[in-house]
A and B are shown apart, each in its own frame.
Chain A
Amino acid sequence: MTQLPTHFESGQLSATSAARVTVVEPMARFSLRAGQGDVTAISEALDLALPTKIGQRTKAGATEAMCLGPDEWVIIAPDSEAVRLESACTAIYDQAPHSLTAISDREITVRIDGPRAADLLTLGCPRDLDAILPNEGRRTVFDGVTVVLWRDAEQEFRLDVWRSFAPHALSLLVTGCTELALE
C-alpha cells in the first residue's frame, strides 16, 4: 500500500466512482470538558446549546459541537470565532469551572463522500455504522487509530485523525477508494 506523506495540504486525496477523500481546510478546534452541572451556563456563554447525549451534535451559525463523553465535547468553529469562544469561556470560568483546550492542530480532518462512502469506512471501522445517524457522530477507532467520526449525511462523513496517525489511516482510505471502485 502506498503510504501517504506526513504533510497534508487541503484538497482531494482520492476520488473514484466509489468515494472521494478530501482534506478539509483547518478550522479552530477545541476540547471542552465540564461537569454536568455547568453545561447550561457554558452553553449560554457560548451561545451554543451543548448536546448532552454522547454522539449528538448541535450547531449555531458555523460553530458546531459534538458530545464525545459524559463531560467532553469537541467544538469546531471558523478561525474568526476562536477568540470569541475563548473569551466567553474565560468570562464564565469562575462561575462554571471547565477546561477549554485548543486542539486545532492536533488533528487533521478529511471529508469522505460518494456513493459508497459508508462502505469505505468498513475497511477500518468495526462499528455498525447504521447505528450512527446523519447529523450524529462518535469517537471510535479506524484501523487501530482513534478517530472522531462525523456523519453529515447518509453517504457523507468527516473524520478527525491525530496528525501523526493520519498517513496510516488515510492511506487505507485512499487504497479503499480504488478497491471499491473496482467492485
Chain B
Amino acid sequence: MTNFRVPGKGRVDQRRPVTFSFDDKEFTAAKGDTVASALLANGVHLMGRSFKYHRPRGPVAAGSEEPNALIGTRRGKGQFEPNTRATVQEVYKGLAATSQNKFPNLKFDIGEINDKAYMLLSAGFYYKTFMWPRSFWDKVYEPFIRAAAGLGVSPTEEDPDHYASRYLHTDVLVVGAGPAGLAAARSAAEAGLRVTLVDENSEAGGTLLSEPQALIEGAPAWDWLAAELAALTDLGVKIMTRTTAIGYYHQNMVGLCEKLTDYVATPEANIPRERMWRVRAGQVILAQGALEKPLVFDGNDRPGVMLAGSAQTYLNRYGVRVGDRAVVVTSHDSAYHAAFDLVESGTAIRAIVDTRAMPPEDLVSQARIRSILVLTGHTVTGTSGRLRVKSVRVNPVRDGWVGEARELLCDCVLMSGGWTPSLHLFSHTKGSLKWDAEQQTFLPDRMTEACLIAGAGRGLWGIEAALTDGAEMGAVAARELGKPIEAKRLTVEQDRTGTGESNTELPSDLSQGKARAFVDYQNDVTAKDLRLAVREGMRSIEHVKRYTTNGMATDQGKMSNINGLNIASDALGKPQPQVGLTTFRPPYTPTSFGAFAGYHRGDHFEATRKTPIDIWAEENGAAFEPVSQWRRAWYFPRAGETMDAAVQRECKATRESVGMFDASTLGKIEVTGPDAVEFMNRMYTNPWTKLQPGRARYGLLLGDDGFIRDDGVIGRLSQDRFHVTTTTGGAARVLNMMEDYLQTEWPDLKVWLTSTTEQWATIALNGPNARKVIEPFVEGLDISAEAFPHMSVAECTVAGFPARLFRISFTGELGFEINVPARHGLELWETLYAAGRPYDLCTYGTETMHVLRAEKGYIIVGQDTDGTVTPFDAGIGWAVGKAKPDFVGMRALKRPDLVADGRKQLVGLLTEDSTTKLEEGAQIVLDPAQPVPMKMVGHVTSSYHSVAAGRPIAMALIAGGHGRMGETVHIPMPDGVIRATVTSPVFYDPEGARLAI
C-alpha cells in the first residue's frame, strides 16, 4: 500500500506510530492523527456509504463539518457510538472503528441498488411513491423503509461511561481559537477580564494549523501560536480544547460539550467521558471562521473528491497527501494555494480548472511557474471511478455554451466553491443576517445578545484581517464590560487572502436529468431534487428544505445550505435575500445523550428522599414505593409472604393490638406570630379561633376555586403557634401557597411560616395497645384517656428525647404520633419496637395505612380527590366553617357550577358478590345495556381487601352519588360487568368508639 505521509511535515508525531482498526483491518497512524487523516495516509478514501443511495463516500472535509466519513467507534461493551466524524475522531491505540450503511461490506454493498433506482427516490419520494395501494404502507413500504433507512446503528447496551457537567461564569467567552479568537482573548485578558477560549479541535490555532507559511510579527505561524498560547495561559485565560460550543441560548448562556476521554487509549476509570459546561458570559465573541463550499457537479461525491482547503489541512496539519495526481476545480483563489502546497510536497497537479474566465493574473502566473495547467472559464461535468475517482470531465464554457469535454485522469479532485461564514451559533440567537452581494454570502447583521463576531465569521479573509478584527472585538467586549483597552495590531507576511465567485450547479453538456450533482451529501440531496421541489410548487425555502431534506442531516447543512439557497433562488427566479436562509438549530454538532444527562442517571437521576427510619425498614426487608420524591416503606413482608398476605396481617395486627408506622414524610409547617390564628382562619376551611392550645383539629385546605388542595391534622401548641401537617406530596406546594397569600394578599399579618418537615421524625402508633407501648417512655405528660383525649397535642419527653406528642388517628384506632428531632428518630423507633414485643407490635407500611384509612372512609387527597372535588363532594362539608367571613375557596363554593346537581360525589362501593375487588380507576355506568360509547358517571378511586369488613371495599366518585345510596351501579371490565352497591364510605366502626379508648 502506498504511503501518503510526507516525512517531516505536519503537527502529528510521525515517530510515534499508533495502531487502530477500521472494519477489522489494522492500520498505522501517527500520534495526533484523526481516523480520516490516518486512513488517507494509508491511501484509503472510501470510508462510508451514503444514507439514501448507499453511494461510496470518502471524506470531503477535514473538520466537524464533514458529511460523508461517518464511522462507528467501539471501546467496549456499551461503548459504541455511531455517526462519529472520521475527520474529528482522534486515533488512539486500539481504537476500533467501523464504516456504516453497508452490507455485506463497504466495497460491495447491496443497498447500492438504491443508487440505480434513484429516479424512484427523488425529492418527496415518501409522499409519492408509497401512496398506493394504501394498505401496503403498514405491511410493505414502511417496514422496508425502516430497515433500509437510518444513519448508523444505535447502541442497545447501557452506556457504562459517566458524564459530567459544570456551570461556568466568565466575563468573555471566545468561541474558536483561530487567529481571530486568539487575538480577541488576548485583548480581553489584558483588560483584566475573566476570559474563556474554547475550540472544538484537539489543539488551538484554527487556520494557523493549516497555514504554517504565514509569518506573524516576523515569527513562523506555529512558533507565534505556541508563544501566544503560553501568554494567554499566563494571563489566566481558561483555554479549553476538544470543546464544542453546541448551542447559544438566552442571555449569553452557551452550552459547551468537552470531550475528555475519546482520544485516550486507556482512560482513567473516574474521568468522565464528556462534560457539559453551562456557561454564562458577559460578552460572547464568535470567532468560528468560515466553511468552504463544495462545487455542485455530477459525481462531486466520489471518494477522492474533496475540498481544496481540507486537502491543504491534511497536508500541512497532518503531513498527508490526499493523492498522487490531483485536479483542482475552483471558483475561488484559495484553491490555488492548496495546489501550490501539494505540488511542493510531490503531488502532481494535472490542472487547475477555474470556473472564472479571468482569475487573478498573479495566481495564474504562479501556477505557470510551477508548470500547472490552468483551464479558465471551464466547467466540470462529471467524474468516473467506482470506489475512487479516476478521472474528471471538464469543458470550456463560452457565452453560456458548454464546449467539448476533455477527460483528465487523476486520483483526487480538489474543489473550492468559495467560503461562507459559520453562522450557526449566531443563528441560535435569532440574530438577523444580511446578504452581501459582493461576496455572495450571508453575513451577521443585528445582534439580539451581547455578542460580537470576529474574523472570517463576518466575511473578513486572511490571517492579518482576522488578528486585527479579533483584537478589536476583544477590546470592544472589554469596553462594554467597563474595562477599556487599546486593541493591538499585528502584521502578517505570506498571508493568503483571495476572492471568488459563487455558483449554482455548474453548467453541463449532459442531460441534467441524469446528473448526480450533490448539494447535501449526508441526506443525498441533489441539485435536481431542489429544482424539482420548486417545480412541484414549493415556494418557501422552509418548504424546499423539508420536501428535499436539504440541510436536515446531522451536519445541519454546514456545507449545503448556501449552495441549496443559490439553486433554489435561481429556480424561483428571486434573489437570495428574498428567499432567505433556513434556521440552524442547536446542537452545532451531534451531542451524546450522556452529555445532556450529565450526572443525572441511575440512582442520581433525581433526589430520592429517605426518612431517618428508612434504614431500619431496609434492613428489615421492607418493600418500598415512591411517594413524590420520597421512598416510603410500602409493606413489610415476612419470608415467602405475598403483598396481599403481608398487608392483611399488618391490618389485623394493628386493629387487634398495635401497629407502628413511619410518618416522617408528612409535611410540617410551623405557623407562628400574633396573627397566627387569623391566618389559619383565612387559609383553612375550619374555624380555629376556639381551638384551645393543646388541642388538634383536622384541617382542610382549598384553592380559591373551591377545590380540595390538601388536608392534615393541625395542633395548636400555644396561643400564637400552630403545628400544621400536610400530605407528603403537598408539603412544598402548601407552604408555597401559604407564603403566596401571606406575602401578596395579607402582608399586614404578623405571622411567619417555617418548614419543619425534616426537623421532626414522626412515628405513629395505632391500635388498642398503643398507649401501653408508649406510656412508660412519656415524661412530663399524663396520656391517660381522660387527661389526653383524642385530638390532643403536647410537648413532653419520650424516651428522653424532646417530643411533640399528638393523640390522633388515621386508622380509626387509638393513635399517637410522636415527633422527635430527626436525629433521634431511628433510636426512638428501635426503642418502641423492642418495647412493643409483648404486644406483638407490627410495623406497617403505606399500603396498610391506605387500607385502614379507607375502612374508615378517610380520604387521601390526590387519590380520592382530583382537583375538581369540593369538601361537599367529598362528604366532608362538616369541616367547612359556616360563620367565617372569608377563607380561601369560600366564595367559589357558592359558584353555580359548584352547587349544581349531578356533581361527582364520594361514596362507598360494595361489590354484590362480596368477593370481587374493583380496579382503582375503573369507570362506572348506570346501565350496562346501553350502546357503546356508554355514559360514564364516575370512577373507582380506592379499592382494597378489608380484613375488618371481611370483604373487598371501595370508594368512588359518582355523579349525584350521595343521592344514590343503596342503588346498584355497573363497572364494565374486559371480562364482564361487575355489579356494585352504593354505600356510605365508612366501612368500620362508624360511631368512632375505638378512638375513645
Q: Are chains A and B touching directly in their complex (CB below 8 angstroms)?
A: yes
Chain B positions within 8 Å of A162 at CB level: 758
| B: number of interface residues (CB 8 Å) | 47
Tell me, yes or no, whether A101 is within 8 Å of chain B by CB.
Answer: yes
Residue contact B754 to A182, C-beta cutoff 8 Å? no
Q: A99-B751, A105-B758, A130-B194 are in contact. List 13 more A-B contacts (CB 8 A).
A: A1-B162, A7-B615, A33-B672, A99-B670, A99-B672, A103-B754, A104-B759, A122-B166, A123-B164, A130-B169, A162-B758, A172-B599, A178-B270
Per-position 1/0 for A65-84, Cβ under 8 A of B: 00000010000000000000
Stretch binding the partner chain, chosen from B319-327, B515-523, B602-610, B919-927: B602-610
- A109-145 interface (Cβ within 8 A of B): 119, 122-130, 143-145
The residue of chain A having its C-beta at the shortest distance from the C-beta of B611 within the complex is: A164
Chain A positions near chain B (C-beta within 8 angstroms): 1, 3, 5-7, 26, 31, 33-35, 71, 93, 97-107, 119, 122-130, 143-145, 162-165, 167-169, 171-172, 175, 178-179, 182
Residue contact B752 to A33, C-beta cutoff 8 Å? yes
Tell me, yes or no, whether B384 is within 8 Å of chain A by CB.
Answer: no
Chain A positions within 8 Å of B168 at CB level: 122
Partner of A123, one of B166, B607, B670, B672: B166
Residue contact A6 to B614, C-beta cutoff 8 Å? yes
Chain B positions within 8 Å of A5 at CB level: 615
Partner of B280, one of A123, A128, A144: A128
Residue contact B759 to A106, C-beta cutoff 8 Å? yes
The residue of chain B having its C-beta at the shortest distance from the C-beta of A172 within the complex is: B599
Chain B nearest CB, measured from A22 CB (Å): 18
Query: Contacts A106-B756, A178-B270: A122 and B167 contacting too (C-beta < 8 A)?
Result: yes
The residue of chain A having its C-beta at the shortest distance from the C-beta of B165 within the complex is: A123
**Can you list 7 pairs linking A and B with CB atoms under 8 Å apart?**
A93-B720, A97-B750, A101-B756, A106-B756, A123-B167, A164-B610, A182-B270
Distance of A107 Cα from B630 Cα, bound (Å): 16
Chain A nearest CB, measured from B253 CB (Å): 10
Chain B positions within 8 Å of A182 at CB level: 268, 270-271
Tell me, yes or no, whether B484 is within 8 Å of chain A by CB.
Answer: no
Chain B positions within 8 Å of A119 at CB level: 166
Chain B positions within 8 Å of A34 at CB level: 752
Residue contact A1 to B604, C-beta cutoff 8 Å? yes
Chain A positions within 8 Å of B603 at CB level: 1, 3, 171
Nearest first, the 3 A-B pairs at minimum CB distance are A33-B752, A164-B609, A99-B752
Distance of A144 Cα from B750 Cα, bound (Å): 31
Residue contact A105 to B162, C-beta cutoff 8 Å? no
Distance of A167 Cα from B760 Cα, bound (Å): 18
Partner of A1, one of B602, B609, B759: B602
The residue of chain A having its C-beta at the shortest distance from the C-beta of B602 within the complex is: A1
Residue contact B822 to A106, C-beta cutoff 8 Å? yes
Distance of A130 Cα from B169 Cα, bound (Å): 9
Residue contact B169 to A128, C-beta cutoff 8 Å? yes
Chain B positions within 8 Å of A145 at CB level: 607
Interface core residue of B166, B194, B823 (most chain A CB under 10 Å): B166
Query: Contacts A144-B607, A172-B604: A33 and B169 contacting too (C-beta < 8 A)?
Result: no
Chain A nearest CB, measured from B758 CB (Å): 5
How many contacting A-B pairs (Cβ < 8 A)? 118
Residue contact A106 to B755, C-beta cutoff 8 Å? yes
The residue of chain B having its C-beta at the shortest distance from the C-beta of A6 within the complex is: B610
Chain A nearest CB, measured from B184 CB (Å): 22
Residue contact B758 to A171, C-beta cutoff 8 Å? no
Distance of A125 Cα from B724 Cα, bound (Å): 32
Chain A positions within 8 Å of B612 at CB level: 6-7, 163
Chain A positions within 8 Å of B821 at CB level: 104-105
Residue contact B758 to A107, C-beta cutoff 8 Å? yes
Distance of A101 Cα from B671 Cα, bound (Å): 10
Tell me, yes or no, whether B674 is within 8 Å of chain A by CB.
Answer: yes
Query: Contacts A6-B614, A106-B822, A164-B611: A101 and B754 contacting too (C-beta < 8 A)?
Result: yes
Tell me, yes or no, whether B673 is within 8 Å of chain A by CB.
Answer: yes
Interface core residue of B606, B607, B674, B757 (most chain A CB under 10 Å): B607
Residue contact A101 to B606, C-beta cutoff 8 Å? no
Chain A nearest CB, measured from B577 CB (Å): 40
Tell me, yes or no, whether B272 is within 8 Å of chain A by CB.
Answer: yes
Chain A nearest CB, measured from B388 CB (Å): 44
Interface core residue of B670, B751, B754 (most chain A CB under 10 Å): B754
Tell me, yes or no, whether B951 is within 8 Å of chain A by CB.
Answer: no
Residue contact B607 to A1, C-beta cutoff 8 Å? no
Chain B positions within 8 Å of A165 at CB level: 607, 609
Per-position 1/0 for B161-198, Cβ under 8 A of A: 01011111100000000000000000000000010000
Distance of A99 Cα from B602 Cα, bound (Å): 41
Distance of A181 Cα from B271 Cα, bound (Å): 10
Chain B positions within 8 Å of A167 at CB level: 607-608, 610
Chain B positions within 8 Å of A178 at CB level: 270
Residue contact B822 to A99, C-beta cutoff 8 Å? no
Tell me, yes or no, whether B649 is within 8 Å of chain A by CB.
Answer: no
Distance of A163 Cα from B610 Cα, bound (Å): 9
Residue contact A164 to B758, C-beta cutoff 8 Å? yes
Distance of A183 Cα from B763 Cα, bound (Å): 47
Tell me, yes or no, whether B278 is within 8 Å of chain A by CB.
Answer: yes
Residue contact A105 to B823, C-beta cutoff 8 Å? yes
Query: Contacts A35-B750, A99-B672, A126-B278: A144 and B271 contacting too (C-beta < 8 A)?
Result: no
Chain B positions within 8 Å of A6 at CB level: 610-612, 614-615
- B599-653 interface (Cβ within 8 A of A): 599, 602-604, 606-612, 614-615, 630
Chain A positions within 8 Å of B166 at CB level: 119, 122-123
Query: Contacts A105-B823, A128-B169: A97 and B673 contacting too (C-beta < 8 A)?
Result: yes
Chain B positions within 8 Å of A93 at CB level: 720
Chain A nearest CB, measured from B602 CB (Å): 7
Chain A nearest CB, measured from B719 CB (Å): 11
The residue of chain A having its C-beta at the shortest distance from the C-beta of B670 within the complex is: A101
Residue contact A179 to B272, C-beta cutoff 8 Å? yes
Distance of A128 Cα from B164 Cα, bound (Å): 19
Chain A nearest CB, measured from B853 CB (Å): 24
Residue contact A106 to B599, C-beta cutoff 8 Å? no
Chain A positions within 8 Å of B751 at CB level: 99
Partner of A26, one of B280, B754, B823: B823
Chain B nearest CB, measured from A39 CB (Å): 14
Distance of A120 Cα from B672 Cα, bound (Å): 38
Residue contact B758 to A99, C-beta cutoff 8 Å? no
- B125-182 interface (Cβ within 8 A of A): 162, 164-169
Distance of A128 Cα from B169 Cα, bound (Å): 6
- B664-707 interface (Cβ within 8 A of A): 670, 672-674
Distance of A182 Cα from B269 Cα, bound (Å): 10
Chain B positions within 8 Å of A130 at CB level: 169, 194
Per-position 1/0 for B337-373, Cβ under 8 A of A: 0000000000000000000000000000000000000
